[in-house]
Amino acid sequence: MRPLLLGVLGCSLLLSVRAFYSPDDDVVELTPSNFNKEVIQSDALWLVEFYAPWCGHCRNLVPDWKKAATALKGIVKVGAVDADQHKSLGGQYGVRGFPTIKIFGANKNKPEEYQGGRSSQAIVDGALSALRSLVKERLSGGSSGSGYKQQQSGSGGSGGSKKDVVELTDDNFDQMVLESGEVWMVEFFAPWCGHCKNLEPEWTAAATAVKEQTKGKVRLGAVDATVHQVVSSRYGIRGFPTIKIFRKGEEPEDYQGGRTRADIIERALDLFSDNAPAPELLEILNEDVVKKTCEDSQLCVIAVLPHILDTGATGRNGYLEVMMKMADKYKKKMWGWLWAEAGAQLELEASLGIGGFGYPAMAAINTRKMKYALLRGSFSETGIHDFLRELSVGRGSTATFGGGAMPNIQSVDAWDGKDGQLPEEEEYDLSDVDMDEDFDKDEL
């Protein structure tokens, strides 16, 4: 079996792993570029699986998902989204775990969660049950078209809230956009513009999703350029819709991406990552620190630094500074960054094969697969960058944790930031010892 490789998380940890589904399957591979057309604009009922390549349960589901897709061919559409690679789609529909299956029925903007079994028969039964409900709804006079078409006709259900699109004017633009610490995506539109009308539901849905996923750090706004001509003229708006990106203290940038909500959300999340602070570098103090940091990340970078008596505070801070620079450099990957003092976590060191020598040392760990790779080069910005870059292109060698599980983590006190102190030696009072006694004895 070829080794599984740790990869960079921009798109996926496992760039080298073959996709679960191929064009020969009856499962439609869905991406941000085709999701809107295939699913949202479709009158068909869709079952969509959101999966991640590293997920064991997703891998187990593949044969049943393919079998169900073949059985439902021509009746119900069956698709799959690599939500690890296309995070915008997963985030848009509230995907928190894998695999998640959603049923896109009458209202495509509010899919239902599939709660049935994971066998092919259970999936087919669930699909047919949803299809019967859809047909009954249509017979009773309910919607017969897709959610997207309803949006276009102005009947509501945009999948977002219009209040999440900030109305910008000549009067509030500078204060709201230029003087704020947030990143803004601003649409300049004209009410009579057909393309602007088509964009409106996508922009609205994206605004709500982006607000939730970035906690308001990236915001979407809109300017009626036919009314607020001062700000529109300032930025040379000539066609509609025009979308510009504003960062504080920088010249605005033209948005060149697609016009679907998925495209807009994806760009917004990239902007959020660009402006997000570097991840926190944490000392391994107990099992909870490791569990929370590594389980929430697809990759954990762990350094074992020399004992404080070997480096002093200055030397240790130098190593930590290198790590913090690398954490900032790779912050888009949303990795976890941890460190421990040599000897503090002996079981962890032993499982990585670095105990007793060679400090500082570093390992990149995938706790979901119980795989790790070791830094073989220098513990420097260049050495660590080369190490992580090699992993990203699938050239790094990996090993498996012994026993297939993380080792026990000991609870230790946090470093106080000071130089270490040698333990005090016990003093002995030798005043009552007659040192001459032994010297008077005859030698044997």
CA distance 282 to 302: 10
Is 294 considered catalytic here?
no
Convert the pLDDT of each residue in 96-125 to its tens digit.
Answer: 888 999 999 888 878 888 888 888 998 998
One-letter amino acid for residue 113 of the chain: E
The domains spanning 28-140 and 282-400 adopt the same CATH topology:
yes
User: Predicted confidence band at 429 (pLDDT cuts at 50, 70, 90)?
Assistant: low
State the average pLDDT over residues 37-45.
87
State the pLDDT at residue 420: 83
Q: What percent of the chain is modeled with pLDDT above 90?
A: 47
State the pLDDT at residue 425: 64
Is 300 considered catalytic here?
no
- 28-140 belongs to which CATH class? alpha beta
* Catalytic residue (one of 11, 196, 294, 300): 196
Contacts made by residues 17-21, CB under 8 angstroms, sequence distance 24+: 17/53, 19/53, 19/82, 20/51, 20/53, 20/58, 20/59, 20/62, 20/80, 20/82, 21/62, 21/66, 21/80
Q: Which among 219, 222, 215, 247 has a CA at the least distance from the CA of 237?
A: 222
State the pLDDT at residue 334: 72
- Whether 398 has a pLDDT exceeding 90, the answer reads no
* Catalytic residue (one of 11, 193, 294, 300): 193
Convert the pLDDT of each residue in 332-354 to its tens digit.
Answer: 677 889 999 999 999 999 888 88
* Catalytic residue (one of 11, 55, 294, 300): 55
State the pLDDT at residue 428: 59
Chain-centroid distance, C-alpha 436: 76
User: Predicted confidence band at 3 (pLDDT cuts at 50, 70, 90)?
Assistant: very low
Q: How crowded is residue 170: how many other Cβ atoms within 10 Å of its Cβ?
A: 15
What does CATH list as the number for 282-400? 3.40.30.10
Fold held by 166-275: Glutaredoxin (3.40.30)
CA distance 160 to 36: 15
CA distance 386 to 378: 10
Q: Which among 281, 291, 259, 276 has a CA at the least distance from the CA of 362?
A: 281
Average pLDDT for the chain? 83
State the pLDDT at residue 150: 36
State the pLDDT at residue 285: 95
State the pLDDT at residue 147: 34
User: Predicted confidence band at 443 (pLDDT cuts at 50, 70, 90)?
Assistant: very low
Is 55 considered catalytic here?
yes
Is 11 considered catalytic here?
no
CA distance 424 to 258: 68
Convert the pLDDT of each residue in 208-226 to its tens digit.
Answer: 888 887 878 899 999 999 9
- Whether 396 has a pLDDT exceeding 90, the answer reads no
State the burial class of residue 397 (Cβ atoms within 10 Å of its Cβ: 0-12, 13-18, 19+). exposed
- 412 vs 90: which has the higher pLDDT: 412
Domain boundaries, given as residue ranges, for the chain: 28-140, 166-275, 282-400
Convert the pLDDT of each residue in 179-201 to its tens digit.
Answer: 988 999 999 999 999 999 999 99
